[in-house]
Structure 1
Amino acid sequence: MSRAELRYDGRVAIVTGAGSGLGRDYALNLAKRGASVVVNDLGVDTRGRQAAEGSESSAQAVVREIESAGGKAVACHESCATRAGGAAIVQAALDAFGRVDILIHNAGFLRNGPFESLTDEQIHSIMDVHLLAAFYVGQPAFAAMKQNGYGRILLTSSASAFFGMPWQTNYAAAKLGLAGLVNALSLEGQAHGINVNALLPTGSGRLGKGDSDMDWPDGLMASVPAGMELIAPQMRNEFVTPMVMWLVNERSKTTHGYYSATAGRFSRIFIGAARGWLSDAMNPPMPEDIEEHMAEIDDISRYDIPLKVFDEFEPIVAAQRALLEGKGD
């Protein structure tokens, strides 16, 4: 059975951090399938160090590669980590191509370290490029998308945020903040044809190279599961980019989601609320009651996935109604 190719003809995409690694792959694949691409990259390494003066920037190299293959792209070296820079990135898209349809916020670097030792620079620089940049580029991009009644926004989160990783408290906090942004912004985008999702990727970008701040506590790697050699061949960009291409395509109606693309396994990640324990409505519980019912509170055999704040109330109302009607279990 033949499948219709996913295309992006007439669409304009902004990719932050597109000078290398995963971002480069996203930009190249979008352009190959018809999109006009703004290749945004500040031209620094994973420690934030500037490239040699006078040399071709990584963004320019990607643009050259796209254009040599017959595609359309422009380089933008503005910083997504400032409000002025974010506005300039979006303006570059509008000036070059007249619209914005897709935003992939992929830019980032690491400042690993033990929690108690993190400096203001290690905290703020991570918050700026991962979390605040999603606002600085996202706000003007969202406004442009609203005017057209269409948009696809994909923010790069991380397994470190959802599942935890020592010495990455700054990074994890910023990346989980993006999940909150997805939750709220997806609701705002519904009326305007704008889908908003997050990706938890495992690829071969600069963050895994030796020149990055990949400091870890001693012995951490001893906890890596046995058998990693079985999945190592799939821990490449080629096993991440297809998920990205789908989520930002017009045919995808998915929104308000987080998706993992890890070692060839593609999976939805979700935040749920266990059914828990419902206390007596007429008698507020004591701390000892919480202790007594912790097994029920922790039981995740039954759960709901609220998609907005009010959704969390529905099963509680249903449970309370069942108790009042004598049907509680």
Structure 2
Amino acid sequence: MRFDGRVAIVTGAGGGLGREHALGLARRGARLVINDLGGARDGSGGSATAAEAVVAEIEALGGEAIASAASVTDYDAIQAMVAAAMSQWGRIDILVNNAGVLRDRTFAKMELEDFRFVVDVHLMGAVNCTKAVWEIMRAQNYGRIAMTTSSSGLYGNFGQSNYGAAKMALVGLMQTLSIEGQKNDIRVNCLAPTAHTRMTEDFAGTLPLEHLGPELVTPGLLYLVSEAAPTRMILAAGAGGFERANVTLTQGIRATGEDAPEQVAARIDEISDRTGEIVPEMGAAQGMIELGKLQAALKG
């Protein structure tokens, strides 16, 4: 799997997962934009030092890279970063939306500003970066975009309502962009990592962190942004393990009339039965199943 001639942007690449993703791409021939605000994990502060250090690592490997300390929440700054990459190399093939912050607290104790900020960084940060490269990729008829989701979004996690909401929103963004990008060979996927980075410092002593290096996740990322990449995949990765998550739909039942609520309650096990469950190609699949039940009922 090679990336010779490809240009990749990796956000949040000053350390942890982003750094490993960037180094993995560079070792296989890609030219890199290393984006990192250089702030604390709660999003405070900022410095270009972290991004510049990774650029130096890539250059020491014989690769090419430029640094950016643009905040993913600042669309103008992101546009300037993209313009610099285009001026340097004339194309952008890969975008890895990896930048993130944590402001964990139970929902009862969480300030709305902390909720908004986490959503702004994770969701709108990915939107800003993707929007800035989207037309470039459309014109090239080639693009690979990876969103970083999380099991906290897919399945929930105590104290992470803001983080989980933002991470699940990225799945929804991926689902639609993969459809819209298909005709221009823009493939969009999600990576759900389990790795020991500064984002997991609070779990020290409760997880086998020595077996959760971010370098064990990067092989999955490289696949998701490769020439042979899938599209609309949620790939989970950690400790050398790789799994696939899906948003599925059961066949369910049809219930109408005055007692429809009671029918739903009485037949919830039937509604939940996963026999014949599907992974819809698009949102219209739900309506098609429901209209199919209607047609069957009308035919008697």
Whole-angstrom distance in 1 between the partners of 2:167 and 2:32: 25
Task: Specify which of 257, 268, 277 is matched with residue 244 of structure 2.
Answer: 268
CA deviation digits over 1:255-279, x for unaligned, max 9? 0121100332211100111111122
| TM-score, scaled relative to structure 1 | 0.85
Which residue of 2 is the match for residue 217 of structure 1?
none
Q: Based on CA coordinates, which of the two structures has the bigger radius of gyration?
A: 1
Q: Is the 8 A contact 1:86 1:133 kept in 2?
A: no
Paired letter, 2:233: G
Secondary structure at the counterpart of residue 108 of structure 2: helix
Whole-angstrom distance in 2 between the partners of 1:76 and 1:173: 27
Paired letter, 1:92: A
Paired letter, 1:241: T
Whole-angstrom distance in 1 between the partners of 2:61 and 2:296: 64
Which residue of 1 is the match for residue 212 of structure 2?
235
Cα shift at 1:111 = 0.2
Whole-angstrom distance in 2 between the partners of 1:243 and 1:48: 26
Question: Which segments of 5 or more consecutive residues in structure 2 lack a partner in the other structure?
Answer: none
1:176 and 2:150 matched: no
Whole-angstrom distance in 2 between the partners of 1:172 and 1:48: 17
1:279 and 2:255 matched: yes
CA deviation digits over 1:187-216, x for unaligned, max 9? 110011100011100112220125xxx7xx
Secondary structure at the counterpart of residue 253 of structure 2: coil
Which residue of 1 is the match for residue 150 of structure 2?
158
Secondary structure at the counterpart of residue 305 of structure 1: coil
Task: Specify which of 271, 277, 284 is matched with residue 303 of structure 1.
Answer: 277
With over 3 angstroms needed to count, the CA separation of the structure-2 counterparts of 1:51 and 1:307, relative to structure 1, is same
Whole-angstrom distance in 2 between the partners of 1:8 and 1:19: 21
Which residue of 2 is the match for residue 107 of structure 1?
99
Whole-angstrom distance in 2 between the partners of 1:154 and 1:279: 40
Paired letter, 1:248: V
Question: Which segments of 5 or more consecutive residues in structure 1 lack a partner in the other structure?
Answer: 1-5, 215-220
Task: Specify which of 1, 4, 11 is matched with residue 16 of structure 1.
Answer: 11
Secondary structure at the counterpart of residue 273 of structure 1: coil
Whole-angstrom distance in 2 between the partners of 1:115 and 1:96: 45
1:45-84 alignment runs, 5 A limit: 45-50=40-45, 57-84=49-76
Name the count of aligned residue pairs.
Answer: 299
Secondary structure at the counterpart of residue 165 of structure 1: coil
Whole-angstrom distance in 1 between the partners of 2:7 and 2:78: 16
Whole-angstrom distance in 2 between the partners of 1:148 and 1:65: 29
Task: Specify which of 260, 264, 272 is matched with residue 290 of structure 1.
Answer: 264
Q: Is the 8 A contact 2:3 2:28 kept in 1?
A: yes
Secondary structure at the counterpart of residue 274 of structure 1: coil
Paired letter, 2:142: Y
- Mean Cα displacement is larger for which, 148-157 or 259-268? 259-268
Whole-angstrom distance in 2 between the partners of 1:184 and 1:285: 36
- Mean Cα displacement is larger for which, 299-308 or 72-81? 299-308
Q: Is the 8 A contact 1:153 1:248 kept in 2?
A: yes
Whole-angstrom distance in 2 between the partners of 1:180 and 1:51: 30
Which residue of 2 is the match for residue 202 of structure 1?
194
1:90 and 2:85 matched: no
CA deviation digits over 1:12-44, x for unaligned, max 9? 000000000010001111111111100000011
Runs of 4+ aligned residues of structure 1 deviating over 3 Å after TM superposition are 313-326
1:126 and 2:121 matched: no
Which residue of 2 is the match for residue 248 of structure 1?
225
| TM-score, scaled relative to structure 2 | 0.93
Whole-angstrom distance in 2 between the partners of 1:238 and 1:153: 19
